Amino acid sequence: MSEGSIWLIVLIPTAVIGIVCGYFIKRCIGAILAGALPWLGVLGVLLYEEYIAPYKGGGASMWPIAQLFVGTIAAGVGIGFYNLSKNLIKKIKNS
């Protein structure tokens, strides 16, 4: 898999989660879920790959660093799409 396709696999579901939270969940709970669900999803995948999936060889375990960067990016994208969907819903309702 190329590096670009891996980012698409992370960011597309994250954007969908942000949009769904923006459409269905009201107030700040939606924003919290839009950031927390992608972050926890990345954590789940990393922990699965580290502790459950068969060992594929390699060097030191880097999952905490991957979680720090990729999880934070996923949470930011989720919250960004949450805000975008909330603004679009407001525009549609006002017009």
In the predicted model, is pLDDT for residue 58 greater than 80? no
In the predicted model, is pLDDT for residue 32 greater than 90? yes
For the chain, domain boundaries:
18-94
The type of residue at 50 is: E
* Per-residue pLDDT at 1: 64
> What pTM was computed for the model?
0.88
In the predicted model, is pLDDT for residue 69 greater than 80? yes
* Banded model confidence at residue 60, pLDDT cuts 50, 70, 90: confident
